[in-house]
Structure 1
Amino acid sequence: MRPDFSTATFKTSTRTDGNGTCVEVARVPGFAAVRDTKHRSVGHISFSDKAFGAFLKGLR
Structure 2
Amino acid sequence: MTLLQSPVGWRKSSRSSQETNCVEVGRVIGGAAVRDTKDRAGGHLTANSAQWHYFVRAIKTGRFDR
TM-score normalised by L of structure 1 = 0.86
Q: SS of the residue aligned with 2:4?
A: coil
The alignment's C-alpha RMSD in Å is: 1.4
Show the counterpart of 1:29: 29
Q: Give the gaps of 5 or more residues in structure 1.
A: none
Contact 1:24–1:34, Cα closer than 8 Å, also in 2: yes
Contact 1:3–1:31, Cα closer than 8 Å, also in 2: no
Rounded Cα–Cα distance in structure 1 between residues aligned with 2:54 and 2:11: 20
TM-score normalised by L of structure 2 = 0.79
Structure 1 segments, 4+ long, off by >3 Å, are none
